[in-house]
Structure 1
Amino acid sequence: MTANALADQAQRTLDGWHRFVASGDQADLAPLLSERIVFRSPVVHTPIPGKPATMLVLGAVVQIFQDFQYHRTFVAGAHDVALEFSAKVDRFDLKGLDLIRFDADGRMIEFEVLVRPFKALEALNAAMTARIGPELARLKQAGAPA
């Protein structure tokens, strides 16, 4: 493994992530996530813990984003990657980063999303709230495993 290369297990998970983004199939997503994953949203100030909540959020966002495309991959070490992307939400173009950390087994343990500009972020928040708001609140209240 070179200095700026992902660990083999993390690279396999990242390849699986790209398959999930293309397919939108939850069955492609489930094996990629650690049970202890933490999702950090660009609109929610507290982390969202647990695999069920993360699957709900990521499954919804791949349906909401239009013209989604990854542009660049930045490897920050054996277990950390940043993926630059663009998409449309409603009538707004957006740019963003997915910051992903992998555990020693290669599963995603942290997933953080950054989005700009603000108007696109507002549109994304409205679309996500309409699609999964009550279900996500229920999962958080039930104390989804962290």
Structure 2
Amino acid sequence: MTHPFRTAVEADDHDAIHALLAEDVVFTSPVAFRPYRGRAITAAIVRGVSRVFEDFRYVREFSGADGRDHALVFEARVGDLAVNGCDLLHTDGEGRIDELVVMVRPLSAATALAEAMGAQFDRIAGEAREEEEGRGRPSGR
């Protein structure tokens, strides 16, 4: 069975992604300096990643026995560099994602991703701030 997060990402449906996130979701990545907590910033980061990754596709999916842990293996490009990665999801008792960990390799691609996301971070932070202040949220690119 395909996880709804995978379906939403593959459809580039950022409203659906937002709806799948718990209010207190924690986003962690090796290219982020610290974990980020909250639906608004996590949704904004996912939108930013969708602008940076090219030729993104999930290639495998695994779920834990209890149905609350999921691993979505993906491939993409950042510029000319191939990226292999995995979205690690944990869901709360209501089925919302309360932990999202993104792992990427190789180091050269992780570095390129960090640089590309860093260049967008003012936009990402602004999108999150707008949502938190009640001015709505961007839904796409």
Provide TM-score, normalisation by structure 2. 0.81
Unaligned 5+ runs, structure 1: 1-10
Report % sequence identity. 34
Aligned to 1:63: 51
User: Could you list the per-position Cα deviations for residues 5-52 of structure 1 after superposition, in whole angstroms to 9, with x for gaps in the alignment?
Assistant: xxxxxx78x22x123212323212121000010000221242110011
Name the SS of the counterpart of 2:64 in structure 1: strand
Aligned to 1:43: 31
Distance 1:66 1:115 in 2: 14
Name the SS of the counterpart of 2:51 in structure 1: helix
Structural mapping, 1:71-110, within 5 Å: 71-78=59-66, 79-110=68-99
Alignment partner of 2:20 out of 32, 35, 41:
32
Name the SS of the counterpart of 1:77 in structure 2: coil
Alpha-carbon offset, residue 137 of structure 1: 5.2
Q: How many equivalent residue pairs? A: 129
Unaligned 5+ runs, structure 2: 133-141
**Worse-matched range after superposition: 47-56 or 18-27:** 18-27
Distance 1:68 1:113 in 2: 14
Give the aligned residue type for 1:98.
D
Aligned to 2:115: 126
Distance 1:140 1:20 in 2: 19
Distance 1:19 1:125 in 2: 25
User: Aligned pair 1:115/2:90, yes or no?
Assistant: no
* Structure 1 segments (4+ residues) deviating >6 Å: 138-141
CA distance 1:73–1:23, shift in 2 (3 Å)? closer
CA-atom RMSD in angstroms: 2.2
Give the aligned residue type for 2:86.
L
Provide TM-score, normalisation by structure 1. 0.78
